[in-house]
Amino acid sequence: MKTTTNPIIRGFNPDPSILRVGDDYYIATSTFEWFPGVQIFHSTDLVNWELINRPLKRVSQLDMRGIPDSCGVWAPCLSYKDGLFYLVFSNVKSFDGPWKDTPNYIVTTDDIYGDWSDPSFISSAGFDGSLFHDDDGKSYYMSMLMDHTEPDFFGGIVLQEIDLSTMTLLGEMKHITSGTELGCTEGPHIYKKDGFYYLILAEGGTEYGHAVSMLRSESIFGKYEVHPENPVFTARFNSAHPLQKAGHGDLVETPTGDWYAVFLVGRPLEERGRCILGRETAIEEVIWKDGWPYPVEQREPRISIPSLQLKPEQMNGNHSKLVEFNADELDIDFQSLRVPASEDWCSLKDRPGFLRLYGRESLTSTHLQSLIARRVQDFNVEVTTRMEFNPTNFQELAGLTFYYNTAHFFYLNVRGKKHREGKELVIISSDYYSSKEHENKIDVSGYESILLRGILDREELSFYYSVDEGSTFHQIGNSFDASILSDDYVQGSSGRYKAAFTGCFVGICCQDLSQNRQHADFEWFHYKEL
């Protein structure tokens, strides 16, 4: 029997919102500080998913300059009504203090592949905004309620009618549930079936206690009763299960009447360990019994599930790709940090056949970094790039980085020498802003081009270089513990970060800490899953 392997969308792709329009399925996932905002995937069989668009492409839609790490775009919600797609998203501005600034917006389009509207502000009462379109023509906006008077700030779920023609909320905000005993109630979505309103929730916190909860009511405003065997999906009771953190789910019905749930999961390196790939998207089949949705077999998401809609080729199997920078636009796998990859600093035109990055601020900046990167989607990868760079002083750097956030990264770079001519290859690592320059430095003066390579073998990261166009690669320095590039380490080890929700990226960058104009040229970027 053919099977579908979880996760179906690998690498940092959390908070899936799923939508079916006709025979087409779409999933939207969170992007946090990475620009453009929101990833939208398309499928016709629920197995093979293709990234088709990132709708928040303009600063007028998404202004993230200066936001803290792991803020920005949280928990998008896709819906469809009368020929229009609706996308709700939060653009979180602050999260670590006693107050949380969580404005929510809606954008629309009649072409999910095309451009989306400028945003309409809806509410800052909480995050995880969602729309429900009832069969009587009314629409409702809901979110979790941010309650700064409570220690854990989770104030339950609120709901309010919305006029979609003016994007204004109508009437009073109604508090419809405080959730279940699992707590940390967020991620609401509503469905209507057989006279009941079903409310799905993310609960237990988005770590190892995470869960998908289900409630129902005969009135959209409640009272909501809890599923008799809640939570519906979770791995909180089985620490050895390979798919952990199951939660923040959404439901979809197929044209044939079958039901599926999608939700985020994490794959730890060891039992309840660190998840360097971030939170990913998984799928499970749902059956209905006695008016409630249940898993087909178990609460824990299965690694392999039977599929009746498989195609011969599985797109979620291997993401290896050689990107040659000779196209008119940047490959869709790449994103930048907080601001658009605009021609003034990220140019495919200034030197045809190369991507030219003009150096700007450091890897610790939350404003103007010159970095493009893609998700790491497998535990074993080899990433290589060819770079030409001629720095004039030690404040000019460019190279290859494995990156989690402004405080956690490993950076193999070429820079100018201090107080003398020439350039050298050096590794810089950062762990909670404790930056370390490693002793192994290689003189690469006189070499026009250099190949930079990083090999990730689960938690072990090693760097290599070649000055003979790849005929010979030499390791530089010792191997590093790449497991620090994970939510679990960043949030768990020091308690410094309350918001740590992304995953490991790998990319190329350039810094000019003096004049902000020195450039580096990259001819290609090869991401290879081993």
Active site residue 136: no
56-62's contacts with Cβ under 8 Å and 24+ in sequence apart are: 56/89, 56/107, 56/116, 57/115, 57/116, 57/340, 58/118, 58/340, 59/339, 59/340, 60/118, 60/119, 61/37, 61/107, 61/116, 61/118, 61/119, 62/35, 62/36, 62/37, 62/91, 62/119
Cα dihedral across residues 321, 326, 330, 334: positive or negative: positive
pLDDT value, residue 308: 55
Active site residue 24: no
pLDDT tens digits for range 364-420: 999 999 999 999 999 999 999 999 999 999 999 999 999 999 999 999 999 999 988
Q: What domains can you pick out in the chain, each with its CATH number?
A: 3-306 (2.115.10.20), 321-529 (2.60.120.200)
pLDDT tens digits for range 124-133: 999 999 999 9
Which amino acid would we find at residue 50? E
pLDDT tens digits for range 488-525: 999 875 556 668 999 999 999 999 999 989 999 999 99
Name the catalytic one among 15, 33, 487, 512.
Answer: 15
Name the catalytic one among 33, 69, 186, 388.
Answer: 186
Average pLDDT, rounded, for the chain:
95
pLDDT tens digits for range 169-183: 999 999 999 999 999
Measured CA to CA, the distance from residue 39 to residue 89 in angstroms comes to 12
Does pLDDT of 108 surpass 60? yes
Confidence bin at 163 (pLDDT 50/70/90): very high
pLDDT value, residue 382: 98
